[in-house]
Amino acid sequence: MTLFTLKPAVAAALIGLTFTGLSSNAWAAVQDYEFQLVKNEIKPGSEAEIAVRLVDKRSGKLVPDAVIFAQRVDMAPDGMEMMAAPIEALPSVEPGIYRFKAQISMAGGWRLSLGAKVQGETDALENKLEFKAIP
């Protein structure tokens, strides 16, 4: 090989290594994460607990340390979106599991809406999760 044929080969190898290194978490997007309900059914009451896990869909691993900046629970699945219930975040006991206490006043279909900031992502994550309150 001459010096002139070696340069393009080295340049191609460096470009390949660069793109291989960038294909890991650097290409992650907020769409790669989702909240999932731990249980799809809960008992109604003034101290009802709702737990969700934040999952990296690419690896299936739980994602800790997200900042939840918005939460709402309402009866939208039963056509009563205006019937919202008070909700508050509870301390987490497991990394990647986020818990909330809500005043679920009646049985029926409920929706939990969450807004969160995932560490390392520029966009906000928003999910709407439906569950049933059954006596």
- pLDDT grade, residue 27 (50/70/90)? low
From the list 110, 103, 113, the residue with the least C-alpha distance to 52 is: 113
Sheet with strand 87-90: strands edge to edge: 33-37, 45-56, 97-104, 87-90
- pLDDT grade, residue 24 (50/70/90)? very low
Residue 8 reports pLDDT greater than 80:
no
In this predicted model, what pLDDT tens digit does every residue of 36-63 receive, in sequence order?
A: 999 999 999 988 999 999 999 999 999 9
Phi-psi region of 105 (alpha: psi -120 to 50; beta: other; left: phi over 0): alpha
Cβ neighbours of residue 8 closer than 8 Å, sequence gap 6 or more: none
Beta carbons of 133 and 78 less than 8 angstroms apart: no
